[in-house]
A = this chain, B = another copy of it.
Amino acid sequence: MSGAPVRVVLADDERMVRTALRVILDAEEGIEVVGEATTGAEAVSVVRELRPDVVLMDVRMPEIDGIRATEQILATLEDPPRVVVVTTFENDAYVYDALHAGAAGFLLKRAAAEELVQAVRLVACGDSLLYPAAVRTLAAEHAARQPARAPAWVARLTDREADVLRLMAAGLTNAEIAGRLSVGPATAKTHVAAVLAKTGARDRTQAVIAAYESGFITPG
């Protein structure tokens, strides 16, 4: 815990921001700012060279944005540093992207100095962290991932047609669907035809796509 200091690299295109971060972090014991970068591309090469423990990565940067830079760092380096994505606005959609890219944390620039320091220490210990307000964004996205996206046609499906669509989305042929539902092949075809009509699909493949895209069935 109190061994070697945490080595930090700052990536931000604005000098003032870098300076502010450096001042805050350098004042802390056990934290050492070892490098800076002003573009995403530079961030990747600086990190590759200096091998810091933590990277504070701005989102909006020239050449390569912080999200892509994060992806590249995590994809190309072995034993990569922990990346904390930093941005200005909390309503940024970047929260999701940052986590998706493998970021260990997400901070707003308006965060207090103590929050920043705590963030660096936390991720250096292997923990993850999100700026509280960002959690709301994430939670909201999570919650929103369920409703809304159910097109009208889903409700118009009869029970039987819904069964058939599920089996179609399981990759079954008409004959197999008939067998699974214990009905004649002709009946299965009729239901499939009805599903195609209601989904507006040209063939069973498009129907399955519609089933996925509408959330009627979900991967995993």
**Could you mark each residue 131-173 of chain A with 1 if its beta carbon is under 8 Å from any beta carbon of chain B, else 0?**
0110110110011011001000000000000000000111101
The answer to whether A219 and B208 have CB atoms under 8 Å apart is no
A214 (CB) vs chain B CBs: closest residue: B219
Tell me how many chains of this kind the complex includes. 2
**Could you mark each residue 27-45 of chain A with 1 if its beta carbon is under 8 Å from any beta carbon of chain B, else 0?**
0000000000000000000
**CB contact list, A188-205 vs B, under 8 A:** 201-205
For A, the interface residue count at a CB cutoff of 8 angstroms equals 40
The answer to whether B132 and A129 have CB atoms under 8 Å apart is yes
The answer to whether B209 and A171 have CB atoms under 8 Å apart is yes
The contact of A128 among B100, B139, B173, by CB within 8 Å, is: B139
The answer to whether A138 and B136 have CB atoms under 8 Å apart is no
Instruction: Using CB atoms and an 8 Å cutoff, list the residues of chain A in contact with chain B.
Output: 96, 99-100, 102, 104, 122, 127-130, 132-133, 135-136, 138-139, 142-143, 145-146, 149, 168-171, 173, 201-206, 208-209, 212-213, 215, 218-220
Ordered by A's residue number, 11 sampled pairs between the chains whose C-beta atoms are within 8 Å are A96-B142, A100-B142, A127-B132, A128-B132, A128-B135, A128-B139, A138-B138, A138-B142, A171-B205, A171-B209, A213-B220
